Chains A and B, each alone.
Chain A
Amino acid sequence: AQSVTQLGSHVSVSEGALVLLRCNYSSSVPPYLFWYVQYPNQGLQLLLKYTSAATLVKGINGFEAEFKKSETSFHLTKPSAHMSDAAEYFCAVSDLSGGYNKLIFGAGTRLAVHP
């Protein structure tokens, strides 16, 4: 069965610092991978996705993620954190075992950005 592990339930960075949110996956087939962001009292918004094209994926709001098959990782980065980046971030893998797409989510990482 496919699964996602996000290391670090809480990450705190200074404004302007590098953001690194970790995601490792397990999958028996080449995966499709996603990062979603959830702002307080809002739904999940797609940041970026990996669908077997370029291994370095660029998303919205300056975020990017690199798919590393050898490490089964899909870590999310942003060179310079902004206060507005404070939110919860979810890594997800697409599971086609049932023949139809469903998302398997990690536990989430709450990002805090302080001045």
Chain B
Amino acid sequence: EPEVTQTPSHQVTQMGQEVILRCVPISNHLYFYWYRQILGQKVEFLVSFYNNEISEKSEIFDDQFSVERPDGSNFTLKIRSTKLEDSAMYFCASSSKGSGGHEQYFGPGTRLTVT
């Protein structure tokens, strides 16, 4: 069964450093998402991406964040200068369609720890 994969599973970085979180969505999916879950809190939407551009972003997704689909398979989230409060589990998701009833398939997540 196809699945979303994410690397690395755990990333430790120092405050102020840049990090890139990588995701490989399901191959025939066209819609891509990033969510994050701070420890003990709810899963929060960060950004959605379709047709090589951001379709929607949340207030969390400020200028320190960017997303890219550098090739036909990868989807990346970059945090330019990490802060302590960026420590969280980051989930990538993909779906075949963007309309409301379609399932988003989630990856296993990358745990980001900023020290």
Residues of A within 8 A of B (CB): 32, 34, 36, 41-46, 49, 51-52, 90, 92, 94, 96, 98-108
Q: How far is the CB of A1 from chain B (nearest CB, A)?
A: 12
Contact B104 A101 (CB under 8 A): yes
The answer to the question of B48 belonging to the interface, with a C-beta cut-off of 8 Å to chain A, is: yes
Closest B residue to A4 by beta carbon equals B42
Is the pair B101, A98 in contact by a Cβ cutoff of 8 Å?
A: no
A79 to chain B, nearest CB (A): 24
Once the chains are docked, how many angstroms separate the CA of A57 from the CA of B99?
19
Q: Which listed residue, B55, B91, B105, touches A100 by the CB 8 Å rule?
A: B55
Contact of B103 among A43, A46, A105 (CB under 8 A): A46
**Residue from B100, B105, B109 within 8 A of A101 (CB atoms):** B100
What are the 9 closest A-B residue pairs judged by CB atoms, nearest first?
Answer: A51-B101, A98-B56, A44-B106, A94-B100, A32-B100, A105-B43, A43-B106, A43-B108, A100-B55
Query: Assuming A100-B56, A102-B48, is B98 touching A107 (CB within 8 A)?
Result: no
Contact with A along B20-37 (1 / 0, CB 8 A): 000000000001010100
In the bound assembly, the distance between CA atoms of A101 and B95 in angstroms comes to 9
Whether the pair B48, A101 counts as a contact (CB closer than 8 A) is: yes
A104 to B99, CA, bound (A): 14
Asked if A101 and B45 make an inter-chain contact with CB atoms under 8 angstroms apart, the answer reads no
**Chain A nearest CB, measured from B8 CB (Å):** 14
Q: A100-B31, A101-B99 are in contact. Are A44 and B91 (CB under 8 A)?
A: yes
- Whether B31 and A101, one on each chain, are in contact in the complex, defined by CB atoms closer than 8 angstroms, is yes
* Contacting residues, chain B, for A104 (C-beta < 8 A): 45
Is there an interface contact between A101 and B107, defined as CB atoms closer than 8 Å?
A: no
Please name all residues of chain B whose beta carbon is closer than 8 Å to the beta carbon of A100 when the two chains form the complex: 31, 48, 50, 55-56, 98
15 additional A-B pairs beyond A105-B43, A108-B43, beta carbons within 8 Å, are A32-B101, A36-B106, A44-B43, A44-B91, A44-B106, A90-B42, A96-B100, A101-B48, A101-B95, A101-B97, A101-B100, A102-B45, A102-B48, A102-B56, A103-B43
